[in-house]
């Protein structure tokens, strides 16, 4: 029975516990208590989350865990030296170590990320790089595994990490079944970007939001200014002015970013040819898509597709 020790500390963010549902459902799918989850803290007792929920924990006791999972917090601050010492000791006997969100900072403080690749919430990646220069921070990945150390980006990315851990233990079929039960995408590859074109735009008005939804659902169309303006029920000139005011981008640039977002997702999924991706996302041909990818990502679509395939094919130990 793989024992999972979840390391908590005062003020941690409760979303970091969402990945534990993946292990719970693995037990339900198997019909036995395959995973045994224990909450740990430096001194044991009640630990309060950032929103006020209180959780009972056990103190570190020298018990050996298969997996040690460290949670994160909204505000990053130096950890208690005692906690870092206990974490370092417990991790030394674990088969693997993982951290969600800013939990990577605790792993770094314990020296567990020295010389390793690691992910964290994009908003804190620069700080992790500055405070711990020996860590190779990847500020764009959903999750990263380097040897027996796994780290994820912020918030829901921890669920992707947990699904990957279950897949590592029990196979892709189990992980896929759990994802379906949880109604989540199965599963975003570790190489998938944390960023979304729609999130970057964030228009203020419902009118422009509806236009973006229209564009996202009709990427095969030309999506000219005239077509988008008609969807917004505005003149092309008025639409272009309002669109730029609300999003900070021209309609043409926003449409290209939406196409890139969709194309990258399809490439990372790995089931589509380059020609199909180009057609489905409105680039029309591979060469136009290649030029757009080079401008945006500095690498052609073939490289992104190959990297995603490599991530899925190579077993992680």
What does the pLDDT read at residue 317?
Answer: 34
Do residues 91 and 171 share a domain?
Answer: yes
List, for residues 195-220, the tens digit of each pLDDT value: 556 656 777 788 898 899 899 899 99
Identify whether 91 is part of a domain.
yes
Domain that holds residue 263: 197-312
What does the pLDDT read at residue 196?
Answer: 59
Counting the structural domains of the chain, the total is 2
Q: What is the CA radius of gyration of the chain?
A: 22
Do residues 50 and 153 share a domain?
Answer: yes
Do residues 147 and 212 share a domain?
Answer: no
| Exposed / middle / buried, residue 218 (Cβ in 10 Å: 0-12, 13-18, 19+) | middle
Identify whether 61 is part of a domain.
yes
Identify whether 134 is part of a domain.
yes
What does the pLDDT read at residue 197?
Answer: 62
Q: Give CA–CA dist 189/144, Å, rounded.
A: 10
Q: Give CA–CA dist 153/123, Å, rounded.
A: 10
Identify whether 187 is part of a domain.
no
Q: Give CA–CA dist 103/85, Å, rounded.
A: 15
Identify whether 48 is part of a domain.
yes
Do residues 127 and 150 share a domain?
Answer: yes
Do residues 204 and 163 share a domain?
Answer: no
Do residues 291 and 170 share a domain?
Answer: no
Do residues 146 and 222 share a domain?
Answer: no
User: Could you say which of 137, 157, 182 is where a domain stops?
Assistant: 182
Q: Which of 20, 101, 165, 215 is catalytic?
A: 101
Do residues 36 and 67 share a domain?
Answer: yes
- The tokens describing 246, both together, are 């609300």
Do residues 57 and 134 share a domain?
Answer: yes
Query: CA end-to-end span of the chain, whole Å?
Result: 19
Identify whether 235 is part of a domain.
yes
Do residues 54 and 117 share a domain?
Answer: yes
Q: Are 104 and 118 in contact (CB under 8 A)?
A: yes
User: Could you say which of 120, 150, 182 is where a domain stops?
Assistant: 182
Answer yes or no: 101 catalytic. yes
Task: List the one residue out of 183, 219, 221, 216 whose CA is nearest residue 199.
Answer: 216
List, for residues 84-105, the tens digit of each pLDDT value: 999 999 999 999 999 999 999 9
What does the pLDDT read at residue 128?
Answer: 94
Per-residue pLDDT of the chain in tens (317 residues, 90 and over written 9) = 899 999 999 999 999 999 999 999 999 999 999 999 999 999 999 999 999 999 999 999 989 999 999 999 998 988 899 999 999 999 999 999 999 999 999 999 999 999 999 999 988 998 999 999 999 998 777 889 999 999 999 878 899 999 999 999 999 889 989 988 887 755 455 445 555 566 567 777 888 988 998 998 999 999 999 999 999 999 999 999 999 999 889 999 999 999 998 998 888 777 889 999 999 999 989 999 999 998 887 788 988 787 766 544 434 33
Q: Give CA–CA dist 206/283, Å, rounded.
A: 27
Identify whether 317 is part of a domain.
no
Do residues 265 and 214 share a domain?
Answer: yes
How many other C-beta atoms are found inside a 10 Å radius of the C-beta of residue 254?
A: 25
Do residues 166 and 258 share a domain?
Answer: no
| Exposed / middle / buried, residue 101 (Cβ in 10 Å: 0-12, 13-18, 19+) | buried
Question: Contacts from 277-282 at CB under 8 Å and sequence distance 24+?
Answer: 277/301, 279/220, 280/219, 280/220, 281/219, 281/220, 282/219, 282/220, 282/221, 282/222, 282/223, 282/255
- The tokens describing 241, both together, are 């002015």
Q: What CATH number should be reported for the domain holding residue 20? A: 3.40.50.880
Q: Rounded to two decimals, what is the model's pTM?
A: 0.66
Q: What CATH number should be reported for the domain holding residue 270? A: 1.10.10.60
Identify whether 191 is part of a domain.
no
User: Could you say which of 148, 182, 216 is where a domain stops?
Assistant: 182
């Amino acid at each position: 029975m793989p024992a999972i020790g979840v390391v908590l500390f005062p003020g941690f963010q409760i979303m970091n516990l969402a990945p534990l549902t993946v292990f719970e459902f693995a037990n339900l799918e198997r019909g036995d208590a395959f995973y045994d989850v224990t909450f740990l803290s430096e001194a044991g007792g009640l630990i309060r989350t950032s929103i006020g929920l209180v959780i009972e924990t056990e103190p570190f006791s020298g018990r050996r865990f298969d997996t040690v999972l460290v949670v994160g917090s909204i505000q990053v601050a130096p950890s208690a030296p005692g906690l870092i010492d206990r974490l370092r000791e417990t991790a030394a006997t674990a088969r693997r170590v993982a951290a969600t969100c800013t939990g990577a900072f605790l792993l770094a403080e314990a020296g567990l990320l020295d010389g390793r690749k690691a992910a964290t919430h994009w908003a804190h990646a620069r700080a992790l790089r500055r405070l711990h220069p020996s860590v190779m921070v990847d500020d764009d990945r959903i999750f990263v595994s380097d040897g027996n150390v796994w780290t994820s980006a912020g918030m829901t990315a921890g669920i992707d990490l947990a699904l990957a851990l279950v897949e590592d233990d029990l196979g892709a079929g189990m992980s896929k079944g759990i994802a379906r039960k949880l109604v989540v995408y199965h599963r975003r590859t570790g190489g998938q970007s944390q960023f979304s074109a729609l999130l970057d735009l964030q228009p203020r008005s419902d009118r422009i939001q509806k236009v973006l939804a229209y564009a996202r659902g009709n990427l095969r169309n030309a999506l000219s200014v005239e077509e988008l303006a008609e969807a917004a029920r505005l003149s092309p000139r008025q639409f272009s002015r309002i669109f730029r005011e609300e999003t900070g981008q021209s309609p043409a640039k926003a449409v290209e970013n939406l196409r890139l977002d969709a194309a990258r997702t399809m490439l990372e999924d790995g089931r589509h040819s380059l020609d199909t991706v180009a057609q489905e996302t409105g680039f029309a041909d591979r060469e136009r898509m290649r030029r757009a990818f080079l401008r945006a990502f500095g690498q052609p679509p073939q490289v992104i597709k190959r990297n995603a395939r490599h991530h899925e094919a190579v077993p992680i130990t």
